[in-house]
Structure 1
Amino acid sequence: RGVDYKSTRSAHPNDLPKAVHDYGYHQQQEWYTDGGLALGLVDEERPFSFVFQEKEPPYLVTVTQLDPPAREVGRHLNQVAVNAYRWCLAHGEWPGYRPAPYTSLPAWVERQYA
Structure 2
Amino acid sequence: MPPVFATAMMIGFIEQTCINGLRPHLSDAQRTVGTHVDVSHVAATPEGMTVTATVTLVEVDGRNLRFDVSCHDESGLIGAGTHRRAVVDFDAFMRRVADKTAPIPTRD
TM-score normalized by the length of structure 2: 0.34
| Higher Cα Rg, which structure | 1
TM-score (norm 1): 0.33
